[in-house]
Structure 1
């Protein structure tokens, strides 16, 4: 037994309890986080239950130096802690508490008080009553129980046995602080936990806020429900991709019209909205799907199998919803007032200028490549003010839209120019770019969704490679179909596929597309690994490998398209043929900065050799 435990004093007002055992247990959570806990058991607890105390971090040093330990009283929740139930927030709170306490030094008391003290079976019975319309407290009362039957006498005994008579309490529940104080434990500070919102627990959290004064900030004052989503539920990753696959034939039929319009047809925008595409990265609290980088990238890739211009436009509009969710609450209340997927364009080239004026900024500039602007209500503009880069949020209606997008490829994206002269932007709609793009951004203080807590660069580099890969896979598919029916002049073969040389050419195109796919998946695996330990983001070594893998994927995709086109004869160059459009689109994609070969190879080499990047934004 440690010295601090042996000499601990017990508050005289509590029944005496002693430590009966202490054992070290390594912990590892499903998201990869790991730490070590000293698990203590006790004799003489008032209720006779087998409660546990997990001592975490430098807890002994904290007690010896008379510092105030961070403590959480966590009531057992089998459904949430073990099975990940979304009807409560217990599992995420437990995970958060272990990491927070391990960092600060303190104790997590795991109390055997299932269902706010009514037991597991009764809690499940209460769930059934909640499904009929009762809230979590009225359901308990209907079963003949109290609203909350938990008693924290044993918790106070456990803390007293260690001499921890003054604590910082990690909890949103004022009753815990009140009971501990009455039992002689000084609560020096009550530290709120995060708000772990899901469509299944919104009314549960609202009831805790409204009926028992839990310190919970939900979406708005009128939060009685999570905004509805298509079909009433959030789609799974596979369900979302199935919706996209269903759109691909229609996108192929409209590809020529999309080019002619130099923007997405309204029918395509309607399809995208109805499929929920623009909600993919929107936070759950705002009625979005709260999905991750893998789903986002796969959606772009599969859209590009139908139309690269659609994939590019949709990819950026999805991404910009995610960017808006990183702003402070005042801006979010404004832009998300009309629904969970406000559409915004974003452009940073070239950077405009901003001059400080009363109440905000006077902004001027001429911005190019505003992808999505033809369908957007808002524009995110990069400006410079006194040496600081800002992002300004401006209604598109207040900007001059210049018809400048006349290109060989990606013609259907409508990535036109924007211009403003001395445009007033209110102070609250101008933010430091470094703050918005960081893992610790204003939105990360509002939403628990993991993607909001990641550096912005994680997604900014994904659109072009995903679109190039999907387009290349489409090209190989078209090449295969043509080979099986096409008769080649000046040969004795009935069809191109009967020629050994053509067979070799097809296998080379197929294999090159597979190489692009492998590089792309390698990049996604690097991102997924970094998200498990968020918000730390990518290390320099990982960033180098990530950008290199995406660049090599894009290069291989371009080569696969070239092989498919060169083996498809003169007809492939008719404007009505999809291969010529795919080739033009991919050529433009490979000139985007996120796939620009030379600077990426240079900076990736520096990162892999631990020389440091000379381009900070890499």
Structure 2
């Protein structure tokens, strides 16, 4: 084989490595195959890792090109065989524990036998998970369970598809004089890298196809995306299903998961208020249910679900605890907000999984000044819901008359314990403060760009939701929580009516009173009214996602906001009727109705449910007069 000038130059500058130790080790594999290896270690490897070379079979003869009976390699010296070499990247799960999610264990076993017969070298390279490390590989497995392939999972974690470098392998081979080899592999990248490093690959010998029910998609991805020489028929791939297929839940499956949480949320409601944040048990259950992945795009490992699922999850969580619904609703939404940023930021925030938790606050707006490499920001921001559980904070600032959103690690901010309120106490919506804090330029974005339909993330993700204007989902949280809490209140009211005896009446229980029956009927009707308004609003947004362009018209936006405001108003009145009809015991701190009433009262004071400005702007939109509040 003729080595090109560029390759020769690279070979000339390849740092030399030297054999450090050599020890004889007898090998025995689980299926009974045994052989003996000379295990070599090295000084001077380029990456400083503890790679091993196992010399197997008549390896010394192979180096001299004189192993009888070996296949004749293309351009082999006088027809004699060359050393057979396998570059095997460490795989603890496959090599040690026998995982069937990959084909590494069977390839290692196959290589040992073939090289022992032909004479050559098995290089065991410490490059777990195609170079991303063991923990990251396991994180990638979790993403693969959601539908990503082995390469996209690496990318979703912020890694390259394959980060392996074979410089150390070339050094080891050169140290033994094995500068022309036969390479046992299906991976063309190994051959290409060795050749560029000055190791002549006279022949690429394919490994077997080690297909299992758990690795068919993995093997297909290697064949389709990185040109591995794997003979896989459609029948092979089609009949062998990947492990845990279908891990993205359906709408109904997700709601069932949330429904299962409701009784435990009710049990922890007092603890949630006392802590002024969500208990760790609640956060763990929300994570296990996949709640924070609902709006995360699928190609980062999220579920990529729609507005119907998002809204219903908040509503149902509120049947257990309004503080939990409010916090979870915003944390879910903020994952979706992070997915609107450019790729370099997404690589950073989604590096540890598909659901990075972030608080977001815009009131009041901070200040920013340009400095080399980015911005210096200062401010005091209020109402950072979910900050007690967040790694990141999204902060609004103004710089030279332009509003920006800055992404900042919570650890770099001062947390101000300011959330002492009558309701929604468990949301932990504390304040944040910063003074001349440096924010890199890539983590500051024009607010108008991030909030728009054509945001940077819309060029990355195919999920229709990513085009939704940002305010649309913000407006859903308070009415969804108010509706769910009102449904819970009417449920508690009903249970009490069927059990309690009311003083100064002749009925044996409250439910037997015609006046109480009328009160309950009105409360029930108000919840039904709130629900119909809610469903109308959600349907308006959902239908907009089924068309192009997906923008809401002014009339649709007016109708949407009006429906949500009327939903909140009806929910609040239903709660008032339930509490006023439940007697003095409803005001004990141990009674759920007093907490529901306080929570809903706070919800109705949120700007998204502040009735007067909402109905004013809605009226303008419905009359075709245009909005005087641009963010409406």
Give the alignment's TM-score, normalised by structure 1.
Answer: 0.64
Residue matched to 1:527: 541
Matched, 1:561 2:572: no
Against the structure 1 CA distance between its residues 284 and 517, is the aligned structure 2 distance closer, same or farther, given a 3 Å change threshold? Answer: same
Asked whether the equivalents of residues 454 and 535 of structure 1 are also in contact (C-alpha less than 8 Å), the reply is no
Residue matched to 2:250: 236
Q: Equivalent of 1:210, from 226, 234, 246?
A: 226
CA offset at residue 209 of structure 1? 4.4
Residue matched to 1:330: 344
Residue matched to 1:459: 473
Matched, 1:423 2:466: no
Q: Distance in 2 between matches of 1:522 and 1:232?
A: 30
1:235 aligned counterpart, secondary structure: coil
Asked whether the equivalents of residues 229 and 287 of structure 1 are also in contact (C-alpha less than 8 Å), the reply is no
Q: Distance in 2 between matches of 1:450 and 1:590?
A: 30
Residue matched to 2:56: none
Residue matched to 1:316: 330
Q: Distance in 1 between matches of 2:326 and 2:402?
A: 29
1:256-277 CA-partner distances (Å, limit 9, x unpaired): 0000000000000011000000
CA offset at residue 457 of structure 1? 2.0
CA offset at residue 536 of structure 1? 3.2
CA offset at residue 460 of structure 1? 1.3
1:90-239 alignment runs, 5 A limit: 208-211=224-227, 233-239=247-253
Matched, 1:572 2:594: no
1:462 aligned counterpart, secondary structure: helix
Matched, 1:447 2:479: no
1:611 aligned counterpart, secondary structure: coil
- Greater radius of gyration (CA): 2
Residue matched to 1:469: 483
Q: Equivalent of 1:270, from 284, 287, 295?
A: 284
Matched, 1:380 2:394: yes
Residue matched to 1:356: 370
Asked whether the equivalents of residues 229 and 288 of structure 1 are also in contact (C-alpha less than 8 Å), the reply is no
CA offset at residue 533 of structure 1? 1.4
CA offset at residue 294 of structure 1? 0.4
Against the structure 1 CA distance between its residues 529 and 203, is the aligned structure 2 distance closer, same or farther, given a 3 Å change threshold? Answer: farther
**Moved runs in structure 1, 4+ residues, more than 2 A?**
200-212, 228-232
Residue matched to 1:290: 304
CA offset at residue 201 of structure 1? 8.5
1:415-442 CA-partner distances (Å, limit 9, x unpaired): 0000000000000000011111111111
2:295 aligned counterpart, secondary structure: coil
CA offset at residue 208 of structure 1? 4.5
CA offset at residue 453 of structure 1? 2.0
Asked whether the equivalents of residues 373 and 416 of structure 1 are also in contact (C-alpha less than 8 Å), the reply is yes
Q: Distance in 2 between matches of 1:391 and 1:558?
A: 33
Against the structure 1 CA distance between its residues 389 and 229, is the aligned structure 2 distance closer, same or farther, given a 3 Å change threshold? Answer: farther
1:384 aligned counterpart, secondary structure: strand
Q: Distance in 1 between matches of 2:571 and 2:245?
A: 36
Q: Distance in 1 between matches of 2:502 and 2:482?
A: 29
2:383 aligned counterpart, secondary structure: coil
Unaligned 5+ residue runs, structure 1? Answer: 1-134, 136-199, 213-227
1:537 aligned counterpart, secondary structure: coil
Q: Equivalent of 1:257, from 253, 271, 275?
A: 271
1:231-282 CA-partner distances (Å, limit 9, x unpaired): 8611100000000000000000000000000000000001100000000000
1:587-612 CA-partner distances (Å, limit 9, x unpaired): 00000000010110100000000001
CA offset at residue 350 of structure 1? 0.2
2:505 aligned counterpart, secondary structure: coil
1:260 aligned counterpart, secondary structure: helix
Q: Distance in 1 between matches of 2:289 and 2:373?
A: 40
Residue matched to 2:90: none
Q: Distance in 2 between matches of 1:427 and 1:400?
A: 21
Residue matched to 1:59: none
CA offset at residue 456 of structure 1? 1.3
2:631 aligned counterpart, secondary structure: coil
Against the structure 1 CA distance between its residues 335 and 268, is the aligned structure 2 distance closer, same or farther, given a 3 Å change threshold? Answer: same
1:57-96 alignment runs, 5 A limit: none
1:73-124 CA-partner distances (Å, limit 9, x unpaired): xxxxxxxxxxxxxxxxxxxxxxxxxxxxxxxxxxxxxxxxxxxxxxxxxxxx
Against the structure 1 CA distance between its residues 530 and 248, is the aligned structure 2 distance closer, same or farther, given a 3 Å change threshold? Answer: same
Q: Distance in 1 between matches of 2:441 and 2:592?
A: 47
CA offset at residue 528 of structure 1? 1.1
Q: Distance in 2 between matches of 1:229 and 1:201?
A: 9
Residue matched to 1:408: 422
Against the structure 1 CA distance between its residues 203 and 409, is the aligned structure 2 distance closer, same or farther, given a 3 Å change threshold? Answer: farther
CA offset at residue 204 of structure 1? 6.4
Q: Distance in 1 between matches of 2:243 and 2:383?
A: 32
1:534-549 alignment runs, 5 A limit: 534-549=548-563
Q: Distance in 2 between matches of 1:544 and 1:567?
A: 35
Q: Distance in 2 between matches of 1:453 and 1:497?
A: 50
Residue matched to 1:139: none
Q: Equivalent of 1:398, from 409, 412, 415?
A: 412
Against the structure 1 CA distance between its residues 540 and 201, is the aligned structure 2 distance closer, same or farther, given a 3 Å change threshold? Answer: farther
Aligned residues: 406
1:477-525 CA-partner distances (Å, limit 9, x unpaired): 0000000000000111000000011000000000000000000000011
Asked whether the equivalents of residues 403 and 417 of structure 1 are also in contact (C-alpha less than 8 Å), the reply is yes
2:384 aligned counterpart, secondary structure: coil
1:562-604 CA-partner distances (Å, limit 9, x unpaired): 0000100000011110000000000000000000101101000
2:534 aligned counterpart, secondary structure: helix
Q: Distance in 2 between matches of 1:394 and 1:448?
A: 26
Q: Distance in 1 between matches of 2:398 and 2:616?
A: 28
2:367 aligned counterpart, secondary structure: strand
Q: Distance in 2 between matches of 1:390 and 1:535?
A: 26
1:141-185 CA-partner distances (Å, limit 9, x unpaired): xxxxxxxxxxxxxxxxxxxxxxxxxxxxxxxxxxxxxxxxxxxxx
CA offset at residue 452 of structure 1? 1.0
CA offset at residue 458 of structure 1? 2.1
Q: Distance in 2 between matches of 1:229 and 1:338?
A: 22
Q: Distance in 1 between matches of 2:548 and 2:448?
A: 18
2:340 aligned counterpart, secondary structure: coil
2:268 aligned counterpart, secondary structure: helix
Q: Distance in 2 between matches of 1:614 and 1:535?
A: 24
Against the structure 1 CA distance between its residues 430 and 598, is the aligned structure 2 distance closer, same or farther, given a 3 Å change threshold? Answer: same
Q: Distance in 2 between matches of 1:376 and 1:615?
A: 31
